Amino acid sequence: MPARLLYDPGPGRRPVEEDFQVGKGCFGLDRSQVRTCTAICRHLVLSMAALAVCAVTAASARERTTALPPPARLHDQPPAGPGLIPLTVAGVRRLFCLLTRVFQDARHHLRWSWWRRRHQARARWYHQRARLQMQAASP
């Protein structure tokens, strides 16, 4: 008898698969060349600790981010200031990595991150308005 799922996984990946994908892609869970169980455990602990620090940082920054509400009607005009998208775990990791480099100062990287998140917020708003247009055009 198959086990019953406690949640609906939906059309995409399951949350556990997404977590492993982020862990492998951003934090090197799959990049160890070790032979002993102790070394594997140490690598996993360090990778998961880095992931946890970035996740907590992104969660605390999410509370202070003002996201722009999506367009409600088809002919809404874009706002003057689109706001910022919340920091993601990968974005926090990218900032940590960039801030440790010597060839640029921290202000440059923080300004770049702010510009990128603002640009993504504006693109998200226009994308949502285009979806409203497609819904209105479909019978």
Choice between 115 and 104, residue whose per-residue pLDDT is larger: 115
Cβ within 8 Å of residue 106, ≥6 positions away: 99
- Residue ranges of the domains in the chain? 15-137
CA dist 109 and 11 (Å) reads: 36
pLDDT of 1 reads 40
Write out pLDDT tens, residues 14-69: 667 777 777 777 777 787 788 888 988 888 888 888 888 888 888 888 877 776 77
**CB-based burial of residue 55 (10 Å sphere; 0-12 exposed, 13-18 middle, 19+ buried)?**
middle
pLDDT of 21 reads 77
CA dist 115 and 121 (Å) reads: 10
pLDDT of 18 reads 73
Cβ within 8 Å of residue 26, ≥6 positions away: 51, 54, 89, 90, 93
CA dist 32 and 44 (Å) reads: 9
* Token output for 101: 């480099």
